[in-house]
Structure 1
Amino acid sequence: MKKYIPLLLLIVIIFISSSQSYEQQSIVPTLQQLLPNQPFYNFLSLFKIPYWGITVSVEERGYYYFIEFLVRKAAHMLSFGAMAIAIYIALFPRKYRYVYALIITFILALADEFHQYFTDGRTATMSDVWLDTSGGFLLLTLFVLILALIRKWKSKR
């Protein structure tokens, strides 16, 4: 039962986060306080990210909103990456658990976006589902590779 606790905690945290409007989650005021001189402005101005039919850039959104966009999308990837790992661990020792963990992560990403659809000030996009799932894929793959390296190292000792 203990192996399900991290997964359940992540699901609850993501559900609570998805229940908040954009305004409740905005970190722009904090970024304005922490980064008053807009460090790396010129470097960040080089990036133009196509997302949900628009281009997200410093020029289009402004410096602080662009940074916030990057932080929010990184949070999506990291949280669903952690969820994929938690699912993988919870499925132990089932055959094909890597594939099952990715499929379940995708389903939970869909459920999260569906939940956001009903939250004021939020949008549900398939782009976020793919972002969440790719975060799950990247972190889970890294986790599995590290586990394999540890096992190989231990077997040589």
Structure 2
Amino acid sequence: MKKYIFLIVGILIMLFCISSMTYEQQTIVPTLQETLENKPFYNLLSKLELTYWDQTISVESRGYYYFVEFLIRKGLHFAGYGIIAILIYRIYRKFQFQLAGICAVLSIFVIASLDEYRQTFVEGRTGIFDDVLLDTYGAITFVILFKLFSALYQKIKQRNSVE
């Protein structure tokens, strides 16, 4: 269990450090311009439009590289907090806590809220509730998938031990 706690603390420190950086310090647009010079999937991506923070986000409104960066950043939010949620879920399960999934998701909601609030004090950053929701959706998705895969694994394991 200690390894989960250390891993969670390490990931949270990393997330808080990254969210303490200004956008200019953490942008990956120059790297994307070099790496994706030929603009792969441009036709597909140019058909996507997302509403985020009451704004339309698209290739047309932001440009190809900024749109790709937006997708990567938000995907990392979703997946990063989802992974933390699984680790928190595992800790709650170690204590035989029946509502481990719900508590893991609520823990992520609190952590994400605190992180977004903290970002309001970072120059050039804004803390927005949409990111808290995205992080929480990531937690919900990852915990549900983890529970489904764990149940499936247990069924397969039981079936193999009977045979």
> Which bin holds the TM-score, normalised by the shorter protein?
over 0.9
Paired AA for residue 18 in structure 2: S
Provide the residue aligned with 2:97 in structure 1.
94
- Name the stretch that deviates more: 25-34 or 86-95: 86-95
Question: CA offset at residue 34 of structure 1?
Answer: 0.4
Q: Deviations over 1:96-130 (max 9, x none)?
A: 11111011011111011011111111111111000
**Quick one: distance in 2 between partners of 1:42 and 1:65?**
15
SS at match of 1:134: helix
1:74 paired residue number: 75
Gaps of 5+ in 2: none
Question: 5 Å matches for 1:1-157?
Answer: 1-91=2-92, 92=94, 93-156=96-159, 157=161
The Cα shift of 1:33 comes to: 0.3
Q: CA offset at residue 2 of structure 1?
A: 2.8
TM-score computed with the length of structure 1 as normaliser: 0.96
RMSD: 0.9
Q: Percent identity among equivalent residues? A: 43
1:25 CA displacement: 0.8
Q: Which runs of 4+ in 1 moved over 4 A?
A: none
Provide, for residues 34-91 of structure 1, a one-character-per-residue CA deviation record: whole Å limited to 9, x for no partner: 0111111121111111110110000010000000000000000011001101101121
